[in-house]
Amino acid sequence: MPKLIVHGGAGTIAEARRSAYHRGLRAALAAGWAVLDAGGDAVEAALRAVETMEADAEAFNAGVGGSPNRDGEVELDAAVVRGADGSAGAVAAVRTAPSAVRLADVVRRTTPHVLLVGPGADALVERPIDPAHLLTPHSRAAWERWRSRQAEADAAPPPPTGSATVGAVALDAAGDLAAATSTGGVLGKWPGRVGDAPIVGAGTYADRAVAVSCTGRGEAFLRAVTAKALAERLAAGAGLDDALARALADVRDHGGEGGLIVATADGRLAYGFDTAHLALGWTDGTTTVAEVLAEATVVVLPTP
């Protein structure tokens, strides 16, 4: 049975913005499920779900509305992995892509490489956009507040803030898995900073048994090689709930926090987070759930 699970980021989600998150999650699920319901493959379902969230100017930190760096510019990262053959594509620090995750898939399908960054990645954009299009009134206001705090401190810039990466993991009718993740990074990051989202095995991973998309403090997920470590634990016989809990513990050991979504080839969906909130949605065609969760937990959803 095809299944789809998505996240809209782990962190703190203001009450006033939660309705936008609910709408965005449902739109992503509808877009991804339409692919699976028509017999489409997991890669296209994950891409469709993620690009829907990238285009949402009201909620997520990916695509339009991505977090500006300390120079006030938006740089996007994304990755997609096909579990059936391990093919992967990723981009980082791109500024002219209307959809970073679609650009990552161009890398996967049309180049001999896995990861392209900056101008090299932007050169593959078929219809480049003005980088200013990625800024929204909300993201610009957040950057201005960040700059004000920097001025008030009259010292080193305050640490980067925020984490609302988006991701999707899909299982199609053929039993194939895919994972896709996209992010605007963290507010106030150094120009050129790359987090875990476009790094295969850290923030995004899929093989024939499991697919994973992560969200949270990217540096900690990078150091913990979170997604691949979870897959290895499952392959070694760990339970899914235990593997999730240990993945979050690894991230904490590296000074971070966040969340993960997971799908397995035998039809299980799961998630875990240890932040204030996690924006989460999932569907199997019969049941659809989209919500902002507020109690840190690890959950393996019941399998019909």
Per the residue annotation, which of 52, 96, 165, 264 is the catalytic one? Answer: 165
Q: What is the DSSP string of the chain?
A: --EEEEEEEEE---GGGHHHHHHHHHHHHHHHHHHHHTT--HHHHHHHHHHHHHT-SSS-SSSTTPPB-TTS-B-EEEEEEETTT--EEEEEEESS-S-HHHHHHHHHHHSS-SEEEHHHHHTT-SS---GGGG--HHHHHHHHHHHHHHHHHTSSPPPPB----EEEEEE-TTS-EEEEEEE---BTPPTT---STTSBTTTEEE-SSEEEEEEE-HHHHHHHTHHHHHHHHHHTT--HHHHHHHHHHHHHHTT--EEEEEEETTS-EEEEE-SSEEEEEEE-SS-EEEEEE-S-EEEEPPP-
pLDDT tens, per residue, the chain with 304 residues: 999 999 999 998 988 889 999 999 999 999 999 999 999 999 999 999 999 999 998 888 888 888 899 899 999 999 999 999 999 999 999 999 999 999 999 999 999 999 999 999 999 999 999 988 888 888 888 878 888 877 665 445 444 444 569 999 999 999 999 999 999 988 889 999 999 999 999 999 999 999 999 999 999 999 999 999 999 999 999 999 999 999 999 999 999 999 999 999 999 999 999 999 999 999 999 999 999 999 999 999 988 7
The topology under which CATH files domain 3-300 is: Glutamine Phosphoribosylpyrophosphate, subunit 1, domain 1 (3.60.20)
Amino acid occupying residue 30: A
Measured CA to CA in angstroms, residue 189 lies from 142, 185, 186, 250, 295 at distances of 13, 7, 6, 23, 28
Contact 89, 206 (CB under 8 A): no
111 is catalytic: no
Q: Which is nearest to 298 in space by CA: 280, 17, 199?
A: 280
Whole-angstrom distance, CA of residue 175 vs CA of residue 110 = 25
Contact 197, 181 (CB under 8 A): yes
**Domain ranges across the chain:** 3-300
pTM of the model as a whole: 0.94
Whole-angstrom distance, CA of residue 147 vs CA of residue 142 = 9
